[in-house]
Structure 1
Amino acid sequence: MIREKIAVRFGVREYNLVMLVWLLLATFSFVLLHWSKIASDDIKSTRTSTQLPIDEASPLNRYADMNAGEEKILKVSKWRYAYLLLLMAIVNAQMNGIIPSIQSYAAIPYSQATYHLGLTLSNIAAPVACFLPLLVQLKGIPAMSCFTVLSSLLTAVIVTLAAMSPTPFLHTSIFGKILAVAIVVCASVLHSYLRTVFATVLRESAEDSESRLFWCGVFIQVGSFLGSCVMFPLVNVFNIFTAAPPCPP
């Protein structure tokens, strides 16, 4: 095999600057939607249109009372609300902070094709998984906790493969390549599915759904930030992970 060095189209600095610009734009849009006058006027008009007076003699009062009873049942207690936000932060720390930092270390030792296949399939599977709650919805805390633990175990396997780089187990076998791709895709599906489930439960379980969705978004960013803060020194300062050569001898 002849090694050939191909000139890169842009450097790491340019890539990080582009990602920083997108992050700042997303943050600005998030703040603008929540605190701008336009957004507040839209929220007020929506609330006004949904809170129409009902005649006391109207039979619709029974229906309103039934809806009120259902809303009480769907309300999430404070501890459950805080626990869901914690799970949201954990899932996004793995999804946006841990796995992207070490996925190359876990997959490239098998082959470049394994890395690109896992990355491509996970990017395809993630948005598809967001529609799974339409078919399979989790409501109970135990079920959501079990799925979060399962996604954490898959993340732990990816971290283990990355820590074993450049010679993870089965790195010379086709089964190792299949395993590496399958774990990354399954982790991506579970993380996307759980994030959608958590957001749906938080939105449907409170009258102030706007406020709860706001804090849901905050904890998504907090989890992603903490996951990145943990992985950055491990990868770039302490050099715990060893990169496999792109062209093995």
Structure 2
Amino acid sequence: MSLLTHLLTCLFGMGSWVSINGLWVELPLIVPQIPEGWYLPSYLSVIIQMANIGPLFVTLMHRFRPGALNETAVIYTIISLGTVASFLLGFFWKEPVVVAGASRSVALFVLTFFLAVVDCTSSVTFLPFTMRLQPQYLTTYYIGEGVSGLLPALVALVQGVGVVHCINSTQSLNHTLNSSDGAVTFDLQAQYQPANFSAEAFFFFLSAMMLVCLLAFLLLNYHPSVAREHPSSRYTNGVKQPAQKKRNWAEKKPMMDPYRPANQKPRSSFGTGSYSWLQVCYIFVVLAWVNALSNTVLPSVQSYSCLPYGNNTYHLSVALAALSNPLACFIAMFFPIRSLLLMGALTGIGSAVGAYIMGMAVLSPCPLMVNDTAGGTIIVLAWILFILTLSYVKVIIGVILREEGHSALVWCGAVVQLGSLLGAVTMFPLVNVYGYFSSGDPCNTKCT
């Protein structure tokens, strides 16, 4: 294995979701300066789901016109689009346009749609591209995908996004209209601190990260030391092939399965036939479930589950949960256990922890142990365990499907987007329409 290829694969994977993740962590700075205010997250959720037209198009082309879509050209196009859109956001994100007599952030919405198309389409293009590399680099790609959420969060922390100082505010309450005697009460008021650098600079940073992803992809295709990782260099799935094999052998033939005896009949027509159709359905259902929970369902209520315990608890849970994703991928690099039973067990554990987090969000602003330090510690640990277990499951499913061939990875990306879509469609009305969740005050706890 090449250290350079590991680095390039990680940087390539980093570009998968860095733009949208960066946009979300920058919301506390964006919201006060645009007409939509805190309705913006609702609009962004709808826009991002509309962008699933990108992966839908790629998946349908792969299914009905196989080979008609140049995968490499699509990747170059979407990364370039993401670089330009992020750069333009730095100039136009707060420029309003009057529509039907009201100011609207049209430029922000349009550029967000392009960024969302880039990131959503990466699920069905970036992942299948790893078939051109040896299997070990798939886990490295997932590490890069985890870094795409961690890096913007760390930069936002340095920027000082959402940092709150609790200051004393004094109020005088008169008991009677004709008396000057009154009671003085002391309350804490949340005061958001100014950022260390502007949102414009942050968007330029995101554009630079997309440019790094573009350069990494370019080197993965053309750097001489990476050439042996491609099927054309007589290496397919890490196994040396005879020289007379054609360049596109890996994409037209099923990948060799080292875990199935040569004389055993295929159990299904999916990939190498290592798994029955029931097992294939089980794998994809688990994949959709864990992505729905980790990408949309629980993140949409993270503030409700953590803020009642304090602003520091919230920021700590965000940072450590983002760190847990690449950490799980790093663990999977050394312990790539392909057990379907373990996959189900870890999914059950992650789902149970997720149920606890959801329960605390529903109870907000008065969750369990809200006035106890242990309550904040438990919710932070819950977020770490939740992301750690489900991220490991996602990597293991990716490893399994990678062994089933290029087509399996395309469907893997499509199911990832489908799960995220179903999670978003479920949570949007609960959070934004029916208002089932109530925010906690980071400075004042009004629970008894």
Instruction: Write the distance in 2 (CA, Å) between the matches of 1:46 and 1:69.
Output: 24
Q: Could you tell me which residue of structure 2 aligns to residue 238 of structure 1? A: 434
Instruction: Write the distance in 2 (CA, Å) between the matches of 1:144 and 1:34.
Output: 20
1:24 to 117, 121, 129: 117
Instruction: Write the distance in 1 (CA, Å) between the matches of 2:381 and 2:263.
Output: 41
Contact 1:171 1:177 survives alignment (8 Å): yes
Q: Could you tell me which residue of structure 2 aligns to residue 171 of structure 1? A: 370
1:210 to 390, 394, 406: 406
Q: Could you tell me which residue of structure 2 aligns to residue 103 of structure 1? A: 302
Q: 1:97 to 1:68 in 2, by over 3 A?
A: closer
Q: 1:29 to 1:137 in 2, by over 3 A?
A: closer
TM-score relative to the length of structure 1: 0.78
Contact 2:124 2:409 survives alignment (8 Å): no
Q: 1:76 to 1:157 in 2, by over 3 A?
A: same
Q: Could you tell me which residue of structure 2 aligns to residue 185 of structure 1? A: 384
Listed one character per residue, the Cα deviations across residues 190-243 of structure 1 (whole Å, up to 9, x for unaligned) are 111110011101212x2xx11001111111111111111111110011111111
Contact 1:154 1:187 survives alignment (8 Å): yes
Instruction: Write the distance in 1 (CA, Å) between the matches of 2:307 and 2:348.
Output: 26
Q: Is 1:160 the counterpart of 2:356 in the alignment?
A: no
Instruction: Write the distance in 2 (CA, Å) between the matches of 1:78 and 1:131.
Output: 30
Q: Could you tell me which residue of structure 1 aligns to residue 143 of structure 2? A: none
Unaligned regions of 5+ residues in structure 1, if any?
1-7, 55-63
- Give runs of aligned pairs for residues 108-123 of structure 1, distance below 5 A: 108-123=307-322
Q: Could you tell me which residue of structure 2 aligns to residue 78 of structure 1? A: 277
Alpha-carbon deviation of 1:135? 2.7
Q: Is 1:69 the counterpart of 2:89 in the alignment?
A: no
Q: Which amino acid aligns with 1:133?
A: A
1:46 to 231, 245, 255: 231
Contact 2:124 2:410 survives alignment (8 Å): no
Q: Which amino acid aligns with 1:211?
A: S
Q: Which amino acid aligns with 1:10?
A: I
1:10 to 21, 30, 33: 30
Instruction: Write the distance in 2 (CA, Å) between the matches of 1:29 and 1:181.
Output: 30
Alpha-carbon deviation of 1:31? 6.0
Alpha-carbon deviation of 1:53? 7.4
Q: 1:67 to 1:245 in 2, by over 3 A?
A: closer
Q: 1:76 to 1:48 in 2, by over 3 A?
A: farther
Instruction: Write the distance in 2 (CA, Å) between the matches of 1:187 and 1:71.
Output: 41
CA RMSD after TM alignment: 3.2
Instruction: Write the distance in 1 (CA, Å) between the matches of 2:263 and 2:118.
Output: 36
Q: Could you tell me which residue of structure 1 aligns to residue 444 of structure 2? A: 248
Identity across matched positions, percent? 29
Unaligned regions of 5+ residues in structure 2, if any?
1-27, 32-37, 45-108, 133-220, 222-229, 245-255, 267-271
Alpha-carbon deviation of 1:32? 6.3
* Higher normalized strand content (fraction of residues): 2
Q: Could you tell me which residue of structure 2 aligns to residue 93 of structure 1? A: 292
- Give runs of aligned pairs for residues 118-157 of structure 1, distance below 5 A: 118-157=317-356
Instruction: Write the distance in 2 (CA, Å) between the matches of 1:241 and 1:121.
Output: 23
Alpha-carbon deviation of 1:170? 0.4
Contact 2:292 2:422 survives alignment (8 Å): yes
Q: Which amino acid aligns with 1:234?
A: L
Equivalenced residues, count: 223
Question: Relative contact order, CA 8 A, sep 6+: which one is greater?
Answer: 1
Secondary structure at the aligned position of 1:153 is classed as helix
Q: Could you tell me which residue of structure 1 aligns to residue 169 of structure 2? A: none
Instruction: Write the distance in 2 (CA, Å) between the matches of 1:134 and 1:32.
Output: 22
Contact 2:287 2:419 survives alignment (8 Å): yes
Deviates more, 1:152-161 or 1:237-246: 237-246
Alpha-carbon deviation of 1:76? 2.0
Q: 1:143 to 1:242 in 2, by over 3 A?
A: same
Contact 1:81 1:202 survives alignment (8 Å): no
Alpha-carbon deviation of 1:68? 8.1
Q: 1:180 to 1:96 in 2, by over 3 A?
A: same
TM-score relative to the length of structure 2: 0.45
Q: 1:134 to 1:30 in 2, by over 3 A?
A: closer
Secondary structure at the aligned position of 1:108 is classed as helix
Alpha-carbon deviation of 1:99? 1.1
